[in-house]
């Protein structure tokens, strides 16, 4: 006579695979919801200083109006079928996003540490990765204003933009990914330095090398071998490449939009893991 299996499992008797799957889904859902909460808190700060977004657009405007106009007339840099302004416009948008991300993430973190806000966040049950990603998402939202500024200037200067909705969506995706990557990179620096003055110095030290070691203002083919190698591991190179293919009417991407997005996404994941481990150092 065989013993009949009970219809209901005894307490504690569950399929371990189901438990692991449920814990994983719950962790992802919690990370997602807490990230949105932190992002909302950061975005609300724009209500107190909305003019910062306009001020951030002054530097790219100068690059397009002065640097771009001069090099378009000299024709010193070969850009194929594109005019130099068309070639340069995506690079200036990427540069603008880079500056917003670098000088927003780490500087805000140091300011919050001095006010004691970081200590309160670290005492909460919010995952460290959510704190990092929330700031990165908010920085991406801040950077969307740069799309409007650069598009407006480019149209006034006669740049032939691709205004198809799908192309604009691709630009938004790349800007969000690029801003998130460099914001978290800035947060890592903010976790390591102790003062705003030192962060400002380091920020100025790294932004221009990142910019010039990319394909933002000249093609990769003009670079010497050592600089070409550096540009291949520079996330800004892939951001500019994707923007040039999506933003310009007759533009093309060297690596392809999918590969550019993949590299930026993997960079974002790696930087998030590093920053999540370093984040508690801020309170020390």
| Structure confidence by residue, pLDDT tens digits, 1-49 | 455 545 444 454 445 554 555 576 777 777 788 888 888 888 887 777 7
Confidence (pTM): 0.85
C-alpha span between 224 and 231 (Å, rounded): 11
Mean per-residue pLDDT, 247-264: 91
C-alpha span between 272 and 268 (Å, rounded): 6
Q: Does an H or E element contain 172, and which? A: helix 165-192
| Structure confidence by residue, pLDDT tens digits, 154-213 | 898 888 899 999 999 999 999 999 999 999 999 998 888 878 788 888 888 888 889 989
Residue 63 gets which letter from DSSP? I
List all residues 6 or more positions away from 278 whose beta carbon is below 8 Å from its beta carbon. Answer: 188, 191, 192
List all residues 6 or more positions away from 69 whose beta carbon is below 8 Å from its beta carbon. Answer: 85, 157
Is residue 188 within 8 Å of residue 271, measured between CB atoms?
A: yes
Is residue 98 within 8 Å of residue 187, measured between CB atoms?
A: no
**b/e sequence 71-89, b meaning 16+ C-beta within 10 Å:** bbeeeeeebeebbbbbbbb
Geometric angle at alpha carbon 104, from 100 and 110, rounded to 5°: 160
Question: Which conformational region is residue 116 in: left (phi greater than 0), alpha (psi within -120 to 50 degrees), or beta?
Answer: left
Q: Which two tokens stand for residue 88?
A: 């340069």
SS3 216: coil
Mean of per-residue pLDDT scores for the chain: 83
Q: Which of 114-128, 143-157, 239-253 has the lowest mean pLDDT?
A: 114-128
Percentage of the chain beyond pLDDT 90 is: 29
């Amino acid at each position: 006579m065989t013993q009949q299996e009970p219809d209901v499992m005894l307490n504690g008797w569950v399929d371990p695979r189901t438990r692991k799957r449920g814990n994983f889904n719950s962790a992802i859902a919690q990370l997602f919801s807490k990230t949105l909460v932190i992002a909302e808190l950061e975005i609300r700060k724009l209500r107190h200083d909305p003019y910062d977004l306009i001020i951030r657009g002054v530097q790219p405007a100068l690059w397009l109006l002065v640097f771009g106009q001069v090099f378009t007339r000299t024709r010193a840099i070969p850009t194929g079928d594109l005019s130099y302004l068309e070639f340069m416009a995506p690079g200036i948008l990427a540069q603008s996003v880079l500056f917003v991300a670098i000088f927003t993430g780490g500087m805000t973190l140091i300011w919050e540490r001095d006010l004691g806000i970081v200590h309160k966040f670290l005492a909460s049950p919010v995952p460290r990765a959510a704190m990092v990603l929330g700031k990165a998402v908010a920085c991406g939202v801040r950077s969307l204003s740069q799309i409007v500024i650069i598009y407006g200037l480019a149209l006034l200067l006669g740049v032939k933009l691709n205004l198809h909705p799908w192309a604009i969506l691709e630009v938004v995706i790349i800007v969000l990914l690029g801003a998130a990557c460099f914001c978290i990179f800035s947060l890592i620096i903010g976790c390591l330095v102790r003062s705003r003055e030192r962060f400002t110095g380091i920020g100025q030290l790294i932004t221009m090398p990142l910019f010039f070691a990319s394909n933002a203002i000249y093609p990769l083919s003009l670079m010497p071998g050592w600089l070409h190698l550096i540009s291949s591991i520079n996330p800004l190179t892939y951001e500019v490449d994707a923007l040039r293919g999506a933003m310009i009417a007759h533009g093309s991407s060297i690596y392809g939009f999918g590969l550019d997005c993949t590299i930026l996404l993997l960079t974002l994941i790696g930087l998030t893991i590093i920053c999540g481990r370093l984040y508690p150092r801020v309170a020390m």
